């Protein structure tokens, strides 16, 4: 039987549900400093994660491994949060070099770190030439300069030399053969500060070494969407379904909505305005880019953990409830913003980091940020009312209804409608 008064509504303790939710898996991303002779950091090499949550020494060797690294950097952490204004040296597999995934990467912010691949010299040179025409920069690791590869070296910006795996005579010979090219040479695998001082010479411009300058790590709770939902969306995009349909699918999935806005901010679109809604973000990307972005999620192959389902369901109810509560008094634009406010109000619980830090990855309107972090602005009372349905008393809820000029009956019906809406998405 549907409750007809707020006092009849069974209040759930969401905080207790959160505490009882199983621990989330965490994503770790590791960055190895690359610095000049004055020990100023000019960039970081991003390293994939081992199972033991330690950096993997070897670069990604297939499309899935590279996709996971790119997905973590762009869709979970945000490249700006990891790198600041420094360059990101991103190791990529040979499969990625010839895939559409690189369409998603901003060339001005990254250096693609490539290793000798299972490709012919001519094929590799052809692929790199095409990518260089799109303004990508490259670092060559573990390549040996030969006449056949001279066009590849001519297109590179950096060459790294492992000072402990190769003799100094060999490295000097390699640098001498390529001296006619404007390459920046990196001394790699430094073991100590004394090692750094010994190799700090005219041969090298930049330096890198795990034992001398250990990599640091960042971690965040894994927030992944259902692979089935990603595939559904990918098919809709490939068939150029109406944006209303695509938007509706995004609004059913907190993880996808967060990743989309995080990616837009990561990719550095330099937008003169803030992304105010999922629809706004979708129209900015368009079908082609959206399809490539979804393919990255498919290749990464991540899955949503069962422990997140309670939180995801609560976030969806909040978003839909706020949207319904504002429908009669606020504009459609405000309705979109209210939905975003509600679903992102639990990002700190999802990601295991302070809410303010989570919001830094997104380019949201001030009204949303104020409601979430300061409990101020025109959206704050509606957020407070949505929270009151979860953890407040009937008296608090009635008082908040009065503040936003919504009758308790209408608010209760909106809450029930939001619960039913979220239930259908399971």
Q: How confident is the model at residue 14 (pLDDT cuts 50, 70, 90)?
A: very low
Residues 6+ apart with CB under 8 A from 407: 401
Q: Which H/E stretch holds residue 43?
A: strand 41-47
Q: Is there a single domain that holds both residue 211 and residue 67?
A: yes
Q: What are phi and psi of 45, to 5 degrees?
A: -90, 125
Q: Is there a single domain that holds both residue 174 and residue 105?
A: yes
pLDDT of residue 272: 54
pLDDT of residue 105: 86
Q: What is the CATH number of the domain that holds 134?
A: 3.20.20.450
pLDDT of residue 21: 40
**Residue-averaged pLDDT of the chain:** 81
Q: Is there a single domain that holds both residue 194 and residue 338?
A: no
Q: How confident is the model at residue 307 (pLDDT cuts 50, 70, 90)?
A: low
pLDDT tens by residue, 66-77: 888 888 888 888
**Residue 369 maps to a domain:** yes
**Residue 200 maps to a domain:** yes
**Residue 315 maps to a domain:** yes
Choice among 165-174, 228-237, 239-248 with the minimum mean pLDDT: 228-237
Pick from 220, 237, 263: which residue ends a domain?
A: 220
- Domain that includes residue 16, residue range: 6-20+224-423
Q: Is there a single domain that holds both residue 391 and residue 419?
A: yes
**Residue 1 maps to a domain:** no
Pick from 166, 194, 220: which residue ends a domain?
A: 220
Pick from 201, 220, 239: which residue ends a domain?
A: 220
Nearest Cα to 109, choosing from 73, 71, 79?
A: 79
Q: Is there a single domain that holds both residue 32 and residue 178?
A: yes
Strands 26-36 and 41-47: antiparallel
Say if CB 323 and CB 338 are below 8 A apart.
Answer: yes
Does pLDDT of 35 surpass 60? yes
Q: How confident is the model at residue 151 (pLDDT cuts 50, 70, 90)?
A: very high
**Residue 286 maps to a domain:** yes
pLDDT of residue 81: 79
Q: 342: burial class by Cβ within 10 Å (0-12, 13-18, 19+)?
A: buried
Q: What is the CATH number of the domain that holds 400?
A: 1.10.3210.10
Greatest mean pLDDT among 16-25, 226-235, 326-335, 410-419 lies in 410-419
Q: Which H/E stretch holds residue 248?
A: helix 243-251
Q: Is there a single domain that holds both residue 206 and residue 330?
A: no
**Residue 385 maps to a domain:** yes
Does pLDDT of 228 surpass 70? no
Does pLDDT of 145 surpass 80? yes
pLDDT of residue 381: 94
Q: Is there a single domain that holds both residue 326 and residue 385?
A: yes
Q: Is there a single domain that holds both residue 235 and residue 146?
A: no
**Residue 351 maps to a domain:** yes
Q: Is there a single domain that holds both residue 371 and residue 240?
A: yes
Residue % of the chain over a pLDDT of 90: 30
**Mean pLDDT to the nearest integer, 352-365:** 81
**Mean pLDDT to the nearest integer, 73-92:** 86
Q: Is there a single domain that holds both residue 198 and residue 262?
A: no
Rounded Cα gap, residues 141 and 89, in angstroms:
11
pLDDT of residue 6: 40
Choice among 16-20, 127-131, 299-303, 417-421 with the minimum mean pLDDT: 16-20
Q: Is there a single domain that holds both residue 402 and residue 358?
A: yes
Does pLDDT of 330 surpass 60? yes
In the chain, how many domains are there? 2
Q: Is there a single domain that holds both residue 343 and residue 394?
A: yes
pLDDT of residue 52: 53
Residues 6+ apart with CB under 8 A from 385: 325, 397, 400, 401, 404, 406, 411
**Residue 235 maps to a domain:** yes
């Amino acid at each position: 039987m549907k409750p007809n008064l707020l006092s009849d509504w069974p209040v759930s303790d969401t905080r207790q549900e959160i505490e009882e939710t199983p621990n989330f898996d965490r994503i770790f991303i590791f960055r190895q400093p690359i610095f000049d002779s004055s020990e100023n950091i000019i960039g970081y090499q991003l390293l994939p994660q081992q199972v033991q949550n330690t950096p993997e020494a070897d670069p990604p060797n297939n499309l899935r491994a590279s996709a996971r690294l790119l997905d973590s950097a762009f869709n979970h952490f945000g490249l700006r949060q990891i790198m600041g204004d420094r360059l990101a040296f991103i190791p990529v597999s040979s499969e990625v070099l010839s895939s559409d995934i690189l369409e998603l990467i901003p060339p001005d912010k990254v250096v693609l770190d490539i290793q000798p691949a299972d490709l012919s010299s001519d094929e590799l040179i052809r692929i790199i030439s095409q990518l260089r025409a799109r303004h990508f920069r490259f670092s060559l690791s573990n390549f040996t300069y030969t006449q056949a590869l001279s066009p590849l070296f001519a297109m590179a910006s950096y060459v790294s030399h492992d000072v402990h795996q190769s003799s100094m005579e060999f490295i000097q010979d390699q640098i001498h053969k390529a001296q006619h090219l404007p390459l920046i040479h990196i001394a790699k695998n430094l073991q100590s500060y004394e090692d750094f001082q010994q190799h700090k010479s005219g041969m090298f411009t930049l330096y890198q070494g795990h034992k001398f300058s250990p990599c640091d790590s960042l971690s965040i709770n894994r927030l992944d969407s259902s692979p089935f939902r990603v595939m559904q969306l990918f098919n809709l995009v490939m068939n150029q379904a109406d944006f209303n349909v695509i938007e509706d699918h995004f609004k059913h999935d907190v993880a996808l909505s967060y990743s989309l806005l995080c990616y837009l901010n990561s990719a550095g679109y330099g937008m003169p305005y803030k992304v105010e809604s999922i629809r706004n973000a979708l129209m900015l990307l368009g079908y082609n880019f959206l399809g490539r972005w979804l393919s990255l999620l498919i290749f990464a192959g991540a899955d949503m953990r069962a422990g997140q389902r309670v939180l995801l369901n609560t976030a969806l109810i909040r978003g839909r409830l706020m949207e319904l509560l504002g429908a009669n008094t606020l504009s459609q634009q405000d309705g979109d913003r209210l939905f975003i406010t509600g679903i992102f109000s639990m990002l700190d619980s999802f990601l295991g980091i302070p809410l303010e830090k989570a919001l830094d990855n997104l380019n949201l309107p001030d009204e949303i940020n104020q409601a979430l972090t300061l409990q101020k602005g025109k959206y704050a009372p509606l957020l407070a009312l949505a929270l009151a349905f979860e953890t407040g008393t009937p008296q608090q809820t009635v008082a908040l209804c009065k503040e936003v000029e919504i009758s308790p009956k209408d608010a209760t019906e909106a809450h029930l409608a939001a619960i039913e809406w979220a239930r259908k998405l399971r």
